[in-house]
Amino acid sequence: MENNKQLSPSHKTIVGVQFLFVAFGATVLVPLLVGLDPSTALFTAGVGTLIFHLVTKGMVPIFLGSSFAFIAPIIKATELYGLAGTLSGLVAVGLVYFLMSALVKWQGVKVIERLFPPVVIGPVIMLIGLSLAGVGVDMAKEDWLLAIIALVTAIVVSMFAKGLLQLIPIFSGIIVGYLAAMLLGRVDLSGIAAAPWIGLPQFVKPEFSWGAILFMIPVAIAPVIEHVGDLYAVSQVAGKDFVKKPGLHRTMLGDGIACCVSGFIGGPPVTTYSEVTGAMILTKVTDPAVIRIAAVTGIVFSLVGKVSAFLKSIPGSVLGGIMLLLFGMIAATGVNNMIRNKTDMSNTRNLIIVSLTLTTGIGGAILQVGNISMTGIGLSALIGVVLNLILPKTKEKNESKEESGM
């Protein structure tokens, strides 16, 4: 049912700030893990969200934040091509959205389902989590006490908190872990004291690199599918069919432009945030203007120098404790995706696709052509898509799809 709840300007502002804090933890965690400036990520999340709303005619209540799908690829690409080269690959991620937008406009939503069925997307999502498990453990073991405090806090908030608090387990875990670190004298506050109150984020200019571009493009498969799922979810919450109006092609175009802008100034790729959708369900507020207030608030925070200094002072072990839970949950989401869509794992074709996608990703397979290489999630996603297109579909597979309503 469509929500027509009317709010005063002051009430909209309060709810908008709350929505930002729901997305805050995840948005700043990504740049902290890959070596980007968290203030830049806040800035690009805010600007990207406003661009998205401009392209979609201000109709769709969606917030864009940093994408977890690119954490491992950014770390690896930075080793291979440097940060500036990697950023050119992140700009190119937007081109995937442009292509998908054009395909949807031409062929309709079904083209996405044909190219990226659950048997492909499930293991790719699993790899996003599994590929980062080692990073989480390495950071957590720097100080297991702080890691466990942050982890337990996130678990307790996820399971037992009520209302909006339940939607911010990452943020809650970081805050409690940080306070514990301060009490134990394990936080260096000198950077915060020295930081100016007002300052621009650290913008970085990309440098063109074919290697980084080809490395990053296949990784975009997972967030593209996430985009489709989130748009359907937001449509259901708001009681409107955003897939038809303004159209999936417009929302993908908006997301793609936002990714390009983010990469051009040194931020991570952005993606739709289901956490904010959960906040809309709780507050029964689906006014897109409230999301735009959250975006503007994020931009304002990004210009406060001490916010960036505070985020950079968070102990790695606190972040590691959060990651132990978060990355495992991402992997579990991939499994749930296949279960929910009734993917038949007794079917040989499905078994082959899932097996090769996982083994090439976890095993660190590398495809090298001259100075250009492809590895990790990107290579595995490409393998999954190709196998899905070339392997013949058996009668069992077709029956399974019919039963799942696809």
Per-residue pLDDT tens for 310-333? 999 999 999 999 989 988 988 998
Report how far residue 252's alpha carbon sits from residue 344's, in angstroms, rounded to the nearest whole number.
Answer: 30
Instruction: Specify the DSSP class assigned to residue 64.
Output: E
pTM exceeds 0.75: yes
pLDDT class of 400 with cuts at 50, 70, 90? very low
Q: Which residues, at least 6 apart from 346, have a Cβ–Cβ distance to it below 8 Å?
A: 396
Q: Per-residue pLDDT tens for 356-385?
A: 999 999 998 888 877 777 788 888 989 999
Q: Are 406 and 387 in contact (CB under 8 A)?
A: no
* Three-state secondary structure call for residue 400: helix
Q: Give me the residue spans of the domains in the chain.
A: 9-342
pLDDT digits (tens, 9 = 90+) for 73-117: 999 899 999 999 999 999 999 999 999 999 999 988 888 888 888
The span from the CA of 173 to the CA of 156, in Å, is: 9
The backbone region for 368, taken as left when phi is positive above 0, alpha when psi lies in -120 to 50, beta otherwise, is beta
Q: Which of 121-125, 228-232, 396-400 has the lowest mean pLDDT?
A: 396-400
Confirm if 253 and 278 have CB atoms less than 8 A apart: no
- CA 238-255-98 angle, 5° bins: 125
- Greater confidence (403 vs 202) lies with 202
Q: Residue 161 class from Cβ within 10 Å (0-12 exposed, 13-18 middle, 19+ buried)?
A: middle
